Amino acid sequence: MAVHEVVVDVMLKPEILDPAGQAVLNALPSLGLPAASSLRIGKHVELSLEAEDETAALELATKMAETLLANPVIEDFRVRPRHGG
């Protein structure tokens, strides 16, 4: 059993409005920043857990994401190993 570092990115589904992202998008020009054509804000979760191997670690993280980190009604998530980033 080794410790594996995993990243879970949680985003609102594309059809769900993201007021926070919209607010940032609208603020860009008034701050003298270049405009973006879209900008959405989600959650970035970095976690360390013990597992036999990387595949098992990703499975455990997926279980966590499904039941606790993401709301499957309005959010999608992606799980990946964290390799220096």
Chain contacts with a copy of itself (rule: CB under 8 A): 3, 9-11, 21, 24, 27-28, 31, 33-51, 60, 63-64, 67-69, 78, 80, 85
Nearer to a copy of itself by Cβ, of 38 and 73: the residue is 38
- What is the Cα gyration radius of the chain? 16
Give the H/E segment covering residue 75.
strand 75-81
| Alpha-carbon torsion, ordered 5, 42, 75, 83, to 10 deg | -20
CB of 17 to a copy of itself, least distance (A): 15
CB of 6 to a copy of itself, least distance (A): 9
Backbone angles phi, psi at 46, to 5 degrees: -110, 125
